[in-house]
Amino acid sequence: MATSHGEHPCSLVRVGCTPYHRGMDRPPPPAGIEIHEHAPLARHTYMRIGGPAEYFATPADLVELERLMLWARAAAMPMRIIGGGSNLLVADEGVSGLVVSLRRACGGIEFTGSRVTAGAAVMLPALARAAAERGLGGLEFAVGIPGSVGGALQTNAGIGDGRCIGPLVREVEVFGGRGFQTLSRYEIHFDYRHSSLRGAGVMVVGATLHLEPRPTAEIQAEMRQLLEARSASQPTAEPNAGSMFRNPEGNAAGRLIEAAGCKGLASGGVRVSELHANFFVHDGSGRASDVLALMSEVQRRVLETSGVWLTPEIVWWGDGAPPAPFAGAPEG
């Protein structure tokens, strides 16, 4: 589904209702906040692919964040939040509007008993390790997921055995057109690689999670095992964006892609990993258009061999209508 900007709704923070047009006159940016124009996004994504953001800012605190949001609203331009960039594919043409990193504004971790309150920009592996040092378990599964707390809450990040972030959540602090709000766990719905926060038009600024006491040595041993299993089964040394496609009900996307003979299939500088077929790896010379072409070819072959249409797990950022792999199953 496209918004009035032609964007996929899950990436946009709702700041205003007037459609934005590139080149439209807009109010000057807020004074005293460093805002970069035409900032390359490739360096902010795990895939190392993607064109520039029209504007890019890393506010120092929530006050600056609010001023940036008011500017985006006054200019009627889209505003997106980038976390770890580990689940993103950015168009070669880049994106119009403002992209914000919460790295400076939302980077804190605070423990209170068996609860931890973490800023949206805290990376899951760092949070899992900090909890382990305090003898708190529950986040072991997250040690190899290279996303931020805010990104993880959008997608209910988790691993194959069913462990995910949703059940740990007690409260989530969000910020949007209606200001700051604290949502309780009962106001948020989590399911497989999805949460009701996605598409809600708000950004996550922080979350409180409930953890369980567990000996540090046990937690660390389990985390080591999980990391070893990951490096044996996933192409961790090459740029990639994690799982490209969602697992269809009762099956694994990687298995279907392998069965369709796609391992090693390439488009430009991007190819289907030989280690794990649901990962695409980038040799440094690829473009988003290569990723899209490869996604389309994989979707076509899997549909032909298994009758299953693979839905992307990664998020697309681009202007205009979503490209073919993100536009849904073909008719008929």
- One of 11, 96, 195, 243 is an active-site residue; which one? 243
| C-alpha dihedral (182, 184, 190, 193), degrees to nearest 10 | 30
Residue 278: CB minimum distance to ligand FAD, A: 10
Residue 158: CB minimum distance to ligand FAD, A: 5
**Active-site residue 193, yes or no?**
yes
What CA–CA distance (Å, rounded) separates 309 from 315? Answer: 17
* Residue number, 11 or 299, with CB nearest to ligand FAD: 11
What's the order of all strands across the beta sheet hosting 115-119? 109-112, 115-119, 203-210, 169-176, 179-184
- One of 193, 271, 287, 301 is an active-site residue; which one? 193
**Geometric angle at alpha carbon 287, from 199 and 303, rounded to 5°:** 65
Radius of gyration of the chain (CA): 20
* Residue number, 206 or 301, with CB nearest to ligand FAD: 206
Phi, psi of 150 (to 5 degrees): -65, -45
β-strands 169-176, 115-119 pairing: unpaired
First to last CA, the chain: 19
**Active-site residue 306, yes or no?**
no
* Residue number, 102 or 131, with CB nearest to ligand FAD: 102
DSSP classification of residue 29: P
- All residues at 6 or more sequence positions from 15 whose CB lies less than 8 Å from its CB, including other chains: 69, 72, 73, 77, 78, 79, 176, 177
Query: Would you say 92 and 291 are in contact if contact means Cβ atoms under 8 Å apart?
Result: no
Residue 264: CB minimum distance to ligand FAD, A: 19
* Residue number, 236 or 306, with CB nearest to ligand FAD: 236
Residue 223: CB minimum distance to ligand FAD, A: 13
* Residue number, 117 or 154, with CB nearest to ligand FAD: 154
Q: Letter for the amino acid at 187?
A: E
What CA–CA distance (Å, rounded) separates 166 from 288? Answer: 31
List interacting residues with ligand FAD (CB under 6 A): 10-11, 46, 80-88, 102, 120, 145-148, 150-152, 154-155, 157-159, 203-204, 236, 240-242, 315
- Name the nearest CA neighbour of 56 among 224, 208, 45: 45
**Active-site residue 313, yes or no?**
yes
Query: Would you say 295 and 274 are in contact if contact means Cβ atoms under 8 Å apart?
Result: no
Residue 151: CB minimum distance to ligand FAD, A: 2
- One of 7, 54, 173, 313 is an active-site residue; which one? 313
* Residue number, 46 or 56, with CB nearest to ligand FAD: 46
Residue 228: CB minimum distance to ligand FAD, A: 14
What CA–CA distance (Å, rounded) separates 101 from 31? Answer: 18
Any idea which residues carry the catalytic annotation? 193, 243, 313
